[in-house]
Amino acid sequence: MTEYKDIATPSRTKEILKQYGFSFKKSLGQNFLTEPNILRNIAAAAELEETDRIIEIGPGIGALTEHLARSKGEVLAFEIDQRLIEVLDDTMSIYPNVTVVNEDILKADVKTVANDIFESEGDLKVVANLPYYITTPIMMHLLMSGLDIQSMVVMMQKEVADRITAEPGTKAYGSLSIAVQYYMEASLAFIVPKTAFVPQPNVDSAIIKLTKRDRPIVEVTDEAFFFKLTKSAFMQRRKTLWNNLTSFFGKDEATKIWLESALNEVGIDPKRRGETLSIQEFGVLANQLKANKR
Ligand code: SAM
């Protein structure tokens, strides 16, 4: 097969941007990668197979997209910026396995689009260099999309990557760590310096890998309530679990008895801080609160 020159070399990127008179929009988080090795490593971390269905968010000029396409899997890329569609039409023209959709990922019904576009029945994988201004909403949108996502290899600002992969008892651990790790096993793959982008962002980035759990980390009877509880426990990080829970659920006698007995029944000290509770402990507490009468 013909080997094409990588899009993401600094010189080729410059050439493409010049050819189309493209100017970056900061408001769309447009920081393009110009390090072919990093892109190769991202694609390698995703362990792609020919039968995979791959979703990318924000293909830009196709720097990562071409590495995904070379895996021979089917690639579906969502790009909000209309100006990039004609660029991608050109740069991706040699890859028949790539479909670009000009939509805002947060407004897209990803499940319906994916079902329309993909032909194979293989694993569904997300691989992307995310627009940083909406990293968390995109992650939640995908996790809640109802799609059976097998794994995600995504680049984001290092600080958010730390929060997503954090363990209980650490500063970075919070409701975001729990929301993601409830569904997926999370690990940090590698760090990317800001010098690998044009234009350079203000912060360093990291690639994380999320892999779907075979079984949920904890069986919860009411997911919405479980997420509400975890959020309430971190409302004021310096406060105890008791103070956060009573601030959120109420300080009346009936609510206090309801909270106190559930904590007591599952053996969680109300004086602990939310950040010391494991996901399993939050799950058990949520189930107990739901089971008890308020
Ligand atoms: N994948 C390219 C790369 O690695 O060089 C570009 C990554 S750049 C960090 C983020 C991309 O996401 C940009 O192309 C931007 O236009 C696009 N984008 C921003 N907001 C978006 C949204 N809401 N939906 C889809 N794409 C979006």
CA 234–ligand 1 middle distance (angstroms): 31
Q: State the burial class of residue 70 (Cβ atoms within 10 Å of its Cβ: 0-12, 13-18, 19+).
A: middle
Q: What is the mean pLDDT of the chain?
A: 96
- Alpha carbon of 133 to ligand 1 centroid (Å): 10
> What is the tens place of the pLDDT at every residue in 240-254?
999 999 999 999 999
Q: Phi-psi region for residue 153, left (φ > 0), alpha (ψ -120 to 50) or beta? A: beta
Residues of the chain with pLDDT under 70: 1-4
- Among residues 109, 76, 78, 88, the alpha carbon closest in space to that of 22 is found at 88
| Contacts for 95 with CB less than 8 Å, ≥ 6 apart | 65, 66, 69, 70, 75
Residue to mutate, 22, 31, 32, ligand 1, most ligand atoms under 8 Å from C-beta: 32
Q: How far apart are CA 249 and CA 130, in angstroms?
A: 35
pLDDT of residue 1: 45
CB 65 within 8 A of CB 92: yes
